[in-house]
Every structure is written in structure tokens, then in C-alpha cells.
Chains A and B, each alone.
Chain A
């Protein structure tokens, strides 16, 4: 039994401690945002945040997560009330097939949380591990920049929505 905190909620997980986090999220908790891509930590579609850092959930065993804070794309907002990252991806229509997008959003979120004014160069370097086979990189780039400015606007006085608060 492992105690796991996902998007602010604690769960007691029955799975064996060496189970990859991705399997727990999808199969036990029904959080299907993080995707199975390669299973080898090479494509980034399974990316989630652990204590604010982007990690590949497919190669992260459950036993490393005791007492740590996991955030998935579901934790960034809801359909009714999307967070700034999600809002930006909708506004820029940054998805084609969409399989890589939750991972893209989570890696970008990890960057913008610590550095909301990240430069193009910093965004490119940071996003390098995540792959998109459709080739929507330019729109993803635009969405991340838009998310950055949405976050900065929110931080500069506008009443933050519940979603942005959760997103940190």
C-alpha cells in the first residue's frame, strides 16, 4: 500500500511499489490525460509533474512518490474552467492528433511555474524531450508563450480562477 497525492487528493494505492506511475494514474485512478507513448522515457507523452518538476511517469515507480505531490493535466483545470495552459492550447488550436499534448502542457507548466517569462530559446531547450509526430511545434510554441502571458496577467492582479490557483 502506497499513499499517493495526485492533484491535491490523497489515495491509498494497492499496486506493487515498483508499478510505473503512469499505470497507476490510468488504470487505478482513471486519469487518462497522461498517455502511453514509448514506455521508455523517450517521447514525453506520459509527462506529469512531481513537486513541480516534469518527469516521465512511464519510468517513475510508485515507491518514489511517497509524500510527494503529483500533478497531471487534469489538475490544471476543468472543461468548464480551463487553466491558463489549457486555455492557451485551446486558443492557439495547438493540437492535431493530440496524443502528445497533455505531456507538452505538463512540461511547459513545469517551466512556466518557475519562469513565467521564459524566452523562446529557454522554451525550446526545455521542451526538447517531448516529441510531436504531427509537427504542430510552432503552434505548441505559440500556446506556451500565450500561457506564459496569461499566467503573468493573472499574477498581476486579476482575480485568479480556481483552476489557476490549483495550477500554482
Chain B
């Protein structure tokens, strides 16, 4: 090949690259929406604000947009991702550091397209892959609610992302690959309640953000919808046919769980799910039931084997082990005798049985562990978190609590206890590497900064672990 030919090829290549870049930028470019004065709050319809409050609760806006000890919606919570740390932004109507200068149009565009007022692409840690489904009408209610909150001056720290992820234009490429823009469309073959539930669960509720596994580039795998995922050191159980629940969920039981944070045949919402159910208390019962209707339909009709397994578990759970008398709340229970010489069995008998076998119903007593979804789950992460750090008392509400045992149980002892629980209360194979996982959780390698939100507003109680030693 002659020199001039090479030059010609190179020239053509450069032109191709430039044209490609040009097309990319043309697709990726979003214009700035001019800054506007914050709306006059007294002119906003209170009914619209109220509707926006319920929608914001379902969207869990407060959970990410509030840092530990910070003001609600003022942002600054670090969100560790596999790619680096992203800090949530201030969504109070502060004109300088919040969204006070965002017009309604800019707000709706951010929800629909994942672009901020200035036209910069947003990181999908803000789940616009779900929020794109929210209707303009609901977005207007959300905007009305946020713009009537107290403006807080708080600048979010800069994201800590490596090159090239720190260039927001790159996100346009991510969107081409994984993002489908568009409002939710009703499925005419389904009921109105199912459609409402589908709209909320897939849209604002962004259930799939935790309950659907993600690919290498952090996008949800659309062909494994609701197959279960991991979030902040906790396992988000599958919500499809692979649901590990011992007793198959029904619309009634799932509605109760979503509205109360616990359900007597399945367990207690904890970790990142705790603020979700706490927020659901601000939503209407109808919306909780709609979400449950949709999710139970995703799980599908349980197989006869699963139904039989659930019935067997329920029968077993109502039987009390020898040595235990069913007590009224407040009565003194006698510890049950260990069923074997196994160390896990002995720890269970002395530390767990007085609540979990006492026959008192959740939330006043412990759940029989053969009903707990955690006993059947694919990983031991959730029970490890609960055994070490307990279930903190929800702030200002009734709810189940459990003491943590990190002060007395070492890693090997937690592993023995979990092996005993798995072998005796579930029909699933043993978990692998339990002791190593316990060590990771204790070292904080499976945990994040999602800590207590300040009280007041619609902030839920402390969602995950606490700093005290119980």
C-alpha cells in the first residue's frame, strides 16, 4: 500500500470519526431550559400538593435526597456504585443550590429524559429509567409538592467518578443502549387496579432498581425482570416466580406488608426496604393494594408444590416446641432446651427461641423462622445484618424490634447459628461461605452510608443499621 493510499484511508477514518462524533453530539445534546423565578407558593393548589406528597412517598424521594442528620430533600447522601460515589442533589426549592429556578417544564423533562435544567445528562442513580413512565399530570403534582417545601441552602459534594464516567455526555451512550423514554401505557387486557399497580411499581416506585439484577454497565437486565438483586449489602428478593417466600404471597398479605412494614407469615421490612414501607404509610391503601395486585401477578399462580410447602410451614409454625409455654405478652418465657449438641442449636435455644418460638404473633413476638423469607433466601446477607445489628425501633411508630448480637457473637458463632437455622427451618441447601460473609458485613464492606434521616417531614425512621452496639 502506497503512502498516499494510507493517507487517504486515514483521512476517511478521521472524517468518519468526526461525523460519528457529530451525530452523537447531535443526539446527546440537550438545550438549557432558562432559569425562572420560583413559583409563588400561595398560588399553588393545596390539593395538588397533597397528591404530590403521596406520590413523593411512593417514589421514596426522601430516602436518597436526604443525608444522615440532614434536612429532608436537601441531598448530599453518598451513593456508592460499582463505578464510584455519586452524591444526591438538593431538590428543595432553594434558588442557588436546589431546584428553585427550575420551571415545571424543566422538572418534567428531568423525570422523563434524565436531563437537568441546564441540559446535562443525569446519572441513572437517579432512576429515570423508571421515572420516565410517570405521567405529566403526576409530575405536576410532584413539582407542586417539592416547590412548597422549605428551601434549604445545601450544595451537594462533587461526584467521585473516574474518567470518562465523569463526562456527562458519555451518559447519552448509556441511554442509547439501555434507556427507553416514554410515559406508561395502560394494558387494556388488565384491570384498572393492575394497571395502577404496574404504573406505580415500574414507574415512580422503581421497585426494579433493587429487585431486578443489573448488568456490567449498571443497567437492569430487562429479560430478568424482578429476578432479585442486591442493594447496599442486602439481598432484594425475587418478586417473580422465583420468590423465596415460604408461604406464597397474596394480594392481601402483600398489601399488609407494604402498608405496615411487616407481615405475620413472611417477616419484617428491613435494610433499604424499611424506608420504602415507612413511606408507603403516607400513600393511600388503594395504591398499596394496586402495587400488591401487580407484583403478585408477576409472581404468578404458585405451583401445587409451593402451595403445599407453604401449608406445611404454616402447620409447623403453629406447633410449639417442647419446653415452651405460650405466654401472654409480657409473660416470662422459659428458654427451650437445645435440640442437639450442635453449637448453632444451643445459641438458637438461648438467644433466639424466647421470641421466635414463643407463639406471640408478629409484631409483638418473633416470626417463627420457618416462615421467614430470610431463611429461604439465596444469600445469608439479610439474616446476618439482622443478627448483628438487630431491628431498630421505628421512630415514633409501633413496629417489631429485635436486639442485635454483634457484641457477643463472633463470626464463627453467627455462621454456626445460621447454618443451624438454614438446615432446620428451611428445605434449601446450605449457604456457602457464611463465615466470610459475616466478616465482610461486620467490616462494613457490605454496607453503606444509608443511615438515619432526621425526624420530621416525611422522612422515615432509621432505615438500616444503627451506630449503637446493641
The verdict on A59 contacting B468 (CB below 8 Å), with A39-B333, A42-B401 known, is no
Min CB distance A44 to B, Å, is: 8
User: Please, which residue of chain A has its CB at the minimum distance from the CB of B346?
Assistant: A18
How far, in angstroms, from A53 to B468 measured CA to CA in the complex? 10
Residues of A with C-beta under 8 A to B448: none
Q: Which of A4-12, A122-130, A147-155 interfaces with chain B?
A: A122-130
Contact with B along A27-39 (1 / 0, CB 8 A): 0000000001011
Residues of B with C-beta under 8 A to A110: 469
User: Please, which residue of chain B has its CB at the minimum distance from the CB of A128?
Assistant: B468
User: Please, which residue of chain B has its CB at the minimum distance from the CB of A126?
Assistant: B468
Q: Which of A60-68, A76-84, A138-146 interfaces with chain B?
A: A60-68
Contact with B along A44-72 (1 / 0, CB 8 A): 00000011011110111111110000000
Residues of A with C-beta under 8 A to B343: 63
Q: A125 and B466: CB pair below 8 A? A: yes
Q: A20 and B350: CB pair below 8 A? A: yes
The verdict on A129 contacting B403 (CB below 8 Å), with A39-B332, A53-B469, A64-B413 known, is yes
The verdict on A129 contacting B470 (CB below 8 Å), with A61-B351, A64-B347 known, is yes
Residues of A with C-beta under 8 A to B351: 59-61
Residue A19 at the chain B interface, CB threshold 8 Å: yes
Q: B403 and A63: CB pair below 8 A? A: no
Residues of A with C-beta under 8 A to B393: 128
Contact with A along B155-198 (1 / 0, CB 8 A): 00000000000000000000000000000000000000000000
The verdict on A40 contacting B354 (CB below 8 Å), with A17-B346, A61-B346, A64-B408 known, is yes
Q: B350 and A18: CB pair below 8 A? A: yes
Min CB distance A127 to B, Å, is: 8
How far, in angstroms, from A50 to B470 measured CA to CA in the complex? 12
Residue A41 at the chain B interface, CB threshold 8 Å: yes
Min CB distance A112 to B, Å, is: 13
How far, in angstroms, from A7 to B402 measured CA to CA in the complex? 28
User: Please, which residue of chain B has its CB at the minimum distance from the CB of A44?
Assistant: B470
How far, in angstroms, from A19 to B413 measured CA to CA in the complex? 16
Q: B409 and A56: CB pair below 8 A? A: no
Min CB distance B226 to A, Å, is: 35
Q: A54 and B350: CB pair below 8 A? A: no
Q: B407 and A59: CB pair below 8 A? A: no
Min CB distance B32 to A, Å, is: 42
Residues of A with C-beta under 8 A to B467: 125-126
Min CB distance B468 to A, Å, is: 5
21 A-B residue contacts at CB 8 Å?
A18-B335, A18-B338, A18-B350, A19-B335, A36-B332, A40-B354, A41-B355, A41-B402, A41-B403, A42-B401, A53-B406, A54-B407, A56-B403, A56-B470, A59-B351, A61-B351, A63-B350, A65-B408, A110-B469, A126-B469, A128-B466
Query: Which B residues contact A (CB, under 8 angstroms)?
Result: 330, 332-333, 335, 337-338, 343, 346-347, 349-352, 354-355, 393, 401-403, 405-409, 413, 466-470
Q: A41-B403, A59-B403, A63-B346 are in contact. List 12 more A-B contacts (CB 8 A).
A: A17-B346, A18-B337, A18-B347, A40-B355, A56-B470, A60-B408, A61-B349, A62-B350, A125-B468, A126-B469, A129-B403, A129-B468
Closest 4 CB pairs of A and B: A61-B350, A41-B403, A53-B407, A18-B350
